[in-house]
Amino acid sequence: MPSTCSVISQSGVVFGTSGARGLVIQFTPQVCMAFSQSFVGVMKKHYQFDTVAIAIDNRPSSQAMAQACAASLISLGLKPIYFGVLPTPALAYVAMQQNIPAIMVTGSHIPFDRNGLKFYRPDGEITKADELAILADDTELVNAELYDLPSVSDLGATSYIDRYLDLFSPTLLAGRRIGIYEHSSAGRDLYATLFKQLGAEVVSLGRSDQFVPIDTEAVSVQDIEMAKRWQKDYRLDALFSTDGDGDRPLLSDETGNYLRGDILCLLAAQFLEIEALAIPVSCNSAVEACNSFKQVLRTKIGSPYVIEAFADLKAQYKSIAGFEANGGFLLGSNIDVGGGQLSALPTRDALLPALSVLAMARDCPVSSLIAKLPKIFTASDRVQNFEKQRSIALIELGIEAPKEFLNKLSLGQFDVASIETTDGLRITLNNGDVVHLRPSGNAPELRCYAESHSVESATNLVNNVLASVVEL
């Protein structure tokens, strides 16, 4: 039999910003088994366990991949617990409660012809060091026979719902009409239950039998217009949704406008009275400008980098958290909230930031909360089918000759105030605007982030830069 290392290296599947990602055709049963075996081998060096949790999203390919992962576990003498279709944070939470590792089969927001695997230690999401250890594992691949998946356990869903029912009052959303854009989200069967038990009148919308790749960092014009139409047609106080695996939120204000993910999480961190934050370099500068936090650490983009930064913050602060521009909120410590305690959940979570902001807006419109923040606005979008090597070459050109690069981006009227290369190329212009380019860690895409003095200006900046990139 081949080694796990050789199977993985020859597959073309690589670790991205969160989990291993690739084309569905690359995730053969053997590749899924190799990843599962290597993951378990790395975990056994640090933890004792005989059970591993598994869950999936609603992608057409996810069940077969989970079947291969479970077969590998069984061949290694381990028991798989199968939670069926479940949000990623719900799987991570129930696994942490049981002190066992977990495997989530999901490609998150990327198109349905791709998929991925996310791995969790008994104490939370794996680190970049764990990723390297998995790739370096060089044991002989165990010959595993495919079996039917075990019966679905509902413990994952009930534990996740109870986490927030125990935290918030059952009248938190009383008198509110909340729309839930279900599409193909892994959490679509539990969100309505939770919101109703918190007192809301729920309107379920947009359920789809086809997989819908919702990207909370690049929401489509169609989805933006649909949210405003639903708000008007159904008289909604807010609209809630997530990406495919339920770890990145979308929340609208009372007019149907979606909040940017980092603004949503900034408000949530204020509500939760977080002392210190770790956030990627792509997040809105309003996080520092609002002066609500004792320390803000900037990291590379990707939840593993945010989690690694928690170690430095834990030594100095009692309550720590992190979030990303996509809205995923990572709770790095146990915290007290309104007299109750919320346990740490160091992985992206969509529900906590959304519920926190709705709690803040109990007696005021959501839009009024945003109006109190510094007037710094962001926008982002992507060019799809843009190979990583092209992105890297473009960024290297910008680093070597930034002024010439601005000319190529039709920004020659500006000078370069500063350059940041923590992750990609982030250029601050002499008028205070920011342009940030980086290759996606999950798909062949070039992402562009911008900051400016208005939403329109930031959006135009993104659109114009990406149009220039396409011409190049």
Residues tagged active-site: 108
Residue 338 CA to residue 345 CA, distance in Å, equals 18
Q: Is 402 helix (H, G, I), strand (E, B) or coil?
A: helix
Phi and psi torsions of 34, nearest 5°: -65, -45
The greatest distance separating any two alpha carbons of the chain, rounded to the nearest whole angstrom, comes to 65
Residue 374 CA to residue 262 CA, distance in Å, equals 13
Residue whose C-alpha is closest to residue 398's, from 468, 455, 451: 468
Helices (H) and strands (E) in the chain, counts: 16, 23
Residue 443 CA to residue 112 CA, distance in Å, equals 12
- Whole-angstrom CA distances from 299 to 127, 287, 310, 428 are 14, 14, 11, 17
Residue whose C-alpha is closest to residue 408's, from 450, 457, 451, 467: 467
Residue whose C-alpha is closest to residue 19's, from 108, 98, 152, 90: 108
Residue 282 CA to residue 449 CA, distance in Å, equals 7
- Do 190 and 247 touch, CB atoms closer than 8 A? no
C-beta atoms surrounding 348 within 10 Å:
31
Residue 203 CA to residue 28 CA, distance in Å, equals 39
- How big is the chain by its Cα radius of gyration, in Å? 22
- Do 65 and 32 touch, CB atoms closer than 8 A? yes
Residue 394 CA to residue 400 CA, distance in Å, equals 10
Tokens of 175: 């008198």
Residue 238 CA to residue 259 CA, distance in Å, equals 11
Strands (E), 122-251: 124-125, 177-181, 201-205, 238-242, 249-251
